[in-house]
A and B are shown apart, each in its own frame.
Chain A
Amino acid sequence: MNREASNGQLLGISGLRKNYGSITVLHDIAFEQASGESVVIVGSSGSGKSTLLRCIAGLEDIDDGTILFDGKKVTAGKDSRAALRGEIGMVFQSFNLFAHLTVIENITLAPRLVRDTPRGQADERARDLLEQVGLSDKVHSYPGELSGGQAQRVAIARALAMDPKLILFDEATSALDPELTKEVLDVMQGVIQGGMTVTIVTHEMNFARKAADRMVFMEHGRIVEQGATEDLFTNPRQERTARFLSQIMA
């Protein structure tokens, strides 16, 4: 919070529509994010938050509109992914660590394959990142040997290893026991304080209030309201936003 957020637009979405079969799950989404900004997207289940993140990550085809990231068009096509080369990182609810690789191999795989980083350099960076997320002792563990909180911290380190310009957090703590949530939120807070641009989908409202510059409220596949986090919390303009916030904070 309170950081310089005016060093240019990084992400620009306009007129985005996404269908699953005959059902439209995202309607006319317009959304912008500046470099260095932290944005949190809230809304009840099924409101389209995660789908929006997956569209930004290039994991979903979109049916209308455009997603511009750093001047490049994001689609789910091969060319788009090649152009992005891992510049958008993503942390998933289900961690999605590569189950057959050790922690350090999970972190170094993409830098080595996508960026041609030499092994020694990739390893060194991975160890630094593991220290940063407090898991120096798990370098050679397999994902199956980690707790959920540890696995998610490794997933964050894996995303950071690509030096992305934006990291998307898709309900990063929703699969975790309450005891393990805090360690992941602390790491996420650290990432934000380090200046990373992040878009976070979460149900952790206290974290959202503390960590996000801006908040977006979604319902039924539409953005209902967006603005400075504190404004939305204290002075929502839409009645639906107020209702959602009072329900979830109760």
Chain B
Amino acid sequence: MPGFLDYFFSVNFAIGAGITLALTLLSMFLGIVGGLALALIKTSRIRALQAPTDLYIWLFRGTPILLQLIFIFNALPQMGLRFSAFTSAVIALSLNESAYMAEIIRAGIESVDKGQRSAARVLGLRDGQIMRHVVLPQAMRLIIPPTGNQFIGMLKMSALASVIAVQDLLLRAQRIASANFDYIDTLIAAAAWYLILTTIFTYGQRVLERRMDVTRRKRPEMSAAVGEAR
């Protein structure tokens, strides 16, 4: 009977972890791109797109991700749209993630002082340049911490894909568990893989946060400033 370490180091589990990681990274990437697009619309003055964007966010935040997943995998084929299990999972997870990322990025953009935009406008920068070179880099400080949380959440949420038979870490663990009737060692091995991945993400998040720290540097204390003027 194989033990916890045998499962943990097995090719089967490693591939499962790889699929989980791929699912997470792809869905997060697309979720961030989609969320950025939605956030840019929400913070823009394009009136016609406000209502559809609100509707999208309302819909995807207001229904269970599991329902969305099953809908894309099972209901869409009935309308003639068929995707593989993995693709279905990526679509569902990234559509859902976009709605959350939109709110995170919007909050970050709105946290940047209006004066920054005024200064950039007067200097002649175009709207796109202002967003790219002035607003977004400063919004990152507020966007990164919750995005790190979203990454970790996504890693765990991706396990839902096992219900539509994506061969991810959890599905593989469950299959071996029932084949060997060893739920304890297999599930602990899977948990260990999840923990390793979330720990790496957490570390990456901290490194990024530290690199974004420049805008947090405080102005020297008043006494120092006065001393300098003398």
Which residues in A have some Cβ–Cβ distance to B below 8 Å?
A: 54, 57-59, 78, 81-82, 84-90, 92, 94, 96-100, 109-110, 113-114, 142, 144-149, 155, 158-159, 162, 177, 179-180, 183
Assuming the contacts A82-B126, A86-B123, asked whether A92 and B215 have C-beta atoms less than 8 A apart, the reply is: no
Contact among A58, A98, A146 for B122, CB-based, below 8 A: A58
List the count of A-B residue pairs having beta carbons below 8 Å apart.
104
Nearest Cβ distance between residue B145 and chain A, in whole angstroms? 16
Nearest Cβ distance between residue B140 and chain A, in whole angstroms? 8
Are A180 and B215 in contact, with the CB atoms below 8 A?
Answer: no
Which residues in B have some Cβ–Cβ distance to A below 8 Å?
A: 113, 115-116, 118-127, 129, 133-134, 137-138, 214-220, 222, 224-226, 228-230
List the A residue with the shortest CB-CB distance to B130. A113
Nearest Cβ distance between residue B28 and chain A, in whole angstroms? 24
Nearest Cβ distance between residue A133 and chain B, in whole angstroms? 15
In the complex, A213→B219 CA distance in Å?
36
Are A90 and B215 in contact, with the CB atoms below 8 A?
Answer: no
Nearest Cβ distance between residue B26 and chain A, in whole angstroms? 29
Are A114 and B123 in contact, with the CB atoms below 8 A?
Answer: yes
Given contacts A100-B137, A114-B123, A145-B219, 14 further A-B contacts (CB under 8 A): A59-B121, A81-B126, A84-B124, A88-B122, A97-B119, A100-B214, A100-B215, A109-B123, A144-B215, A144-B216, A147-B225, A147-B229, A177-B226, A179-B229
In the complex, A99→B139 CA distance in Å?
11
Most buried by A among B116, B122, B127, B229: B122
Assuming the contacts A144-B218, A147-B225, asked whether A92 and B121 have C-beta atoms less than 8 A apart, the reply is: no
Nearest Cβ distance between residue B47 and chain A, in whole angstroms? 16
**Can you list 16 A-B contacts (CB < 8 A)?**
A81-B124, A85-B124, A86-B122, A88-B122, A90-B118, A94-B113, A96-B118, A99-B138, A99-B215, A110-B125, A113-B133, A142-B215, A144-B214, A145-B217, A147-B220, A177-B222
Nearest Cβ distance between residue A119 and chain B, in whole angstroms? 14
Assuming the contacts A96-B115, A113-B129, A177-B225, asked whether A144 and B123 have C-beta atoms less than 8 A apart, the reply is: no
Please indicate the chain A residues that have their CB under 8 angstroms from the CB of B217 in the complex: 142, 144-145
Please indicate the chain A residues that have their CB under 8 angstroms from the CB of B126 in the complex: 78, 81-82
In the complex, A113→B225 CA distance in Å?
33
Please indicate the chain A residues that have their CB under 8 angstroms from the CB of B230 in the complex: 179
- Decide if the interface of chain B is mainly helix, strand, loop or mixed: helix
In the complex, A89→B122 CA distance in Å?
6
Please indicate the chain A residues that have their CB under 8 angstroms from the CB of B123 in the complex: 86, 89, 109-110, 114, 158-159, 162
Please indicate the chain B residues that have their CB under 8 angstroms from the CB of A148 in the complex: 219, 225
Contact among A92, A109, A142, A145 for B133, CB-based, below 8 A: A109
Please indicate the chain A residues that have their CB under 8 angstroms from the CB of B215 in the complex: 99-100, 142, 144
Contact among B119, B220, B228 for A90, CB-based, below 8 A: B119
Are B219 and A96 in contact, with the CB atoms below 8 A?
Answer: no
Assuming the contacts A110-B124, A114-B124, asked whether A100 and B218 have C-beta atoms less than 8 A apart, the reply is: no
Are A100 and B225 in contact, with the CB atoms below 8 A?
Answer: no
Are B219 and A147 in contact, with the CB atoms below 8 A?
Answer: yes
List the A residue with the shortest CB-CB distance to B118. A59
In the complex, A183→B215 CA distance in Å?
25
In the complex, A54→B113 CA distance in Å?
16
In the complex, A227→B11 CA distance in Å?
86
In the complex, A147→B225 CA distance in Å?
6
Please indicate the chain B residues that have their CB under 8 angstroms from the CB of A180 in the complex: 225, 229
Please indicate the chain B residues that have their CB under 8 angstroms from the CB of A99 in the complex: 116, 138, 214-215
Assuming the contacts A96-B118, A98-B116, A110-B125, asked whether A145 and B226 have C-beta atoms less than 8 A apart, the reply is: no
Are A86 and B124 in contact, with the CB atoms below 8 A?
Answer: yes
Please indicate the chain B residues that have their CB under 8 angstroms from the CB of A177 in the complex: 222, 225-226, 229
Please indicate the chain A residues that have their CB under 8 angstroms from the CB of B222 in the complex: 177
In the complex, A110→B125 CA distance in Å?
7
Are A90 and B122 in contact, with the CB atoms below 8 A?
Answer: yes
Top 6 nearest A-B pairs (CB, nearest first) are A86-B124, A110-B123, A96-B119, A144-B217, A147-B225, A96-B115
